[in-house]
Amino acid sequence: MKDIAASVGTPCYIYSARSIRSAYAAIDAAFAGYPHRIHYALKANSTLAIVRLIRSLGSCADANSGGEVKVAERAGFAPADIVFTGVGKTRDELEYAIARGVGTINAESAGELDRIAAIAHAQGRVAAAALRINPDIDAGSHPNISTGLRSNKFGVPLEDARAIYRERRGLPGLRFAGVHVHIGSQITTEDPIRRAASTLVALALELRDDGFELEHVDLGGGLGIAYEGRPMITPVEYAAAALPELRRLGIPVVLEPGRAIVGHAGALVARIVDTKEFPGGRRFAVLDAGMGELMRPALYGSYHRVVPLAPRPGPERPWDVVGPICESSDVFARDRPLPPLEVEDLVALLDTGAYGSVMASNYLRHQLAPEVLIDDGRWTVVRRRQTMDDVLALET
Ligand X SMILES: Cc1ncc(COP(=O)(O)O)c(C=O)c1O
Residues forming a β-bridge with 129: 105, 176
**Shortest Å distance, C-beta 184 to ligand X:** 7
Binding to ligand X by residue 259, rule CB under 6 A? yes
Count of Cβ atoms closer than 10 Å to residue 138 Cβ: 14
Phi, psi of 133 (to 5 degrees): -95, 150
Residues 60-79 that bind ligand X (CB under 6 A): 62, 64
Q: In sequence order, which residues have a C-beta less than 8 Å from that of residue 3 and are 6 or more positions away? A: none
351: which DSSP letter? Answer: S
CB-nearer residue toward ligand X: 346 or 354: 354
Q: Is 222 in the site for ligand X (CB under 6 A)?
A: yes
**Single-letter amino acid, residue 211:** G
The residue among 161, 178, 171 whose CA lies nearest residue 117 is 171
Q: Considering the complex, what minimum distance in angstroms separates the CB of residue 366 from ligand X? A: 25
Rounded least distance, CB 258 to ligand X, Å: 3
Our finding on whether 235 is near ligand X (CB under 6 A) is: no
Q: Which of 191, 203, 220, 205 is nearest to 250 (CA)?
A: 205
Q: Write the burial class of residue 52 (CB in 10 Å: 0-12 exposed, 13-18 middle, 19+ buried).
A: middle
Contact call for residue 46 and ligand X (CB under 6 A): no
Q: 32, 326, 388, 393: which one is catalytic?
A: 326
Q: Is 44 in the site for ligand X (CB under 6 A)?
A: yes
Answer for the pair 74, 49: CB distance below 8 angstroms, yes or no: no
Q: How far is the CB of 14 from ligand X (least distance, A)?
A: 20
Based on the number of CB atoms within 10 Å of its own CB, is 2 exposed (0-12), middle (13-18) or buried (19 or more)?
Answer: exposed
Choosing from 185, 198, 199, 302, the residue that interacts with ligand X (CB under 6 A) is: 185
d(CA 72, CA 47): 10
257 binds ligand X (CB under 6 A): yes
Q: Is 260 in the site for ligand X (CB under 6 A)?
A: yes
Contact 130, 218 (CB under 8 A): yes
The residue from 66, 155, 258, 290 that contacts ligand X (CB under 6 A) is: 258
* Integer angstrom CA distances of residue 201 from 77, 162, 198: 28, 13, 5
Residue 89 within binding range of ligand X, rule CB under 6 A: no
Q: Which stretch binds ligand X (CB under 6 A): 29-37, 69-77, 92-100, 254-262?
A: 254-262
Residues of this chain, 344-363, that bind ligand X according to CB under 6 A: 354
- Confirm whether 12 is a catalytic residue: no
Candidates 89, 182, 271, 366: give the one binding ligand X (CB under 6 A): 182
Which residue numbers are catalytic? 326
Q: Which residues bind ligand X (CB under 6 A)?
A: 41, 43-44, 62, 64, 85, 182, 185-186, 220-223, 256-260, 354
